[in-house]
């Protein structure tokens, strides 16, 4: 009988500790971004603020193909406007490459073969 009372006391203590963290009812208000939570993690009758957009959140991508990439705005987002073709200096190269000449960062040909191609 003493063992049964001890078990009931232990169960009561466990239930009462868990009951302390259960949140009560909240107001009948809809918050699109959820409710603010108190120090116990329970929602209170106050809406969360609108989340700030990501630092580099760009809009939808343009479906236009641009050989030299897109013009970028001040935030680094691509605009639906193509970059102009690079102005390349004339290259006089006497090597023959089956895959063409290697291009530099601006897209201009260099006097080196593209890929693991060896000049002949």
Query: What does the pLDDT look like over 45-102, one tens digit per residue?
Result: 999 988 765 555 788 888 899 988 899 998 888 999 999 987 888 888 888 888 888 9
Say how far apart CA 108 and CA 87 lie, in whole Å: 8
Residue 12: pLDDT band by 50, 70, 90 thresholds? very low
Q: Within 10 Å of residue 9's Cβ, how many Cβ atoms?
A: 10
pTM attached to this predicted model: 0.33
Give the per-residue pLDDT at 50: 81
Say how far apart CA 80 and CA 58 lie, in whole Å: 12
């Amino acid at each position: 009988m003493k063992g049964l009372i001890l078990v009931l006391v232990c169960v009561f203590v466990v239930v009462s500790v868990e009951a302390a963290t259960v949140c009560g009812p909240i107001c009948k208000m809809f918050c699109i971004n959820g409710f603010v939570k108190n120090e116990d993690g329970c929602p209170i009758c106050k809406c969360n603020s609108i989340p700030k957009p990501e630092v580099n959140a760009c809009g939808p991508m343009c479906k236009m193909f641009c050989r030299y990439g897109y013009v970028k705005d001040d935030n680094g987002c691509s605009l639906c406007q193509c970059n102009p073709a690079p102005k390349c200096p004339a290259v006089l190269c006497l090597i023959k490459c089956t895959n063409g000449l290697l291009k530099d960062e601006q897209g201009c040909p260099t006097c080196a073969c593209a890929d693991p191609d060896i000049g002949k």
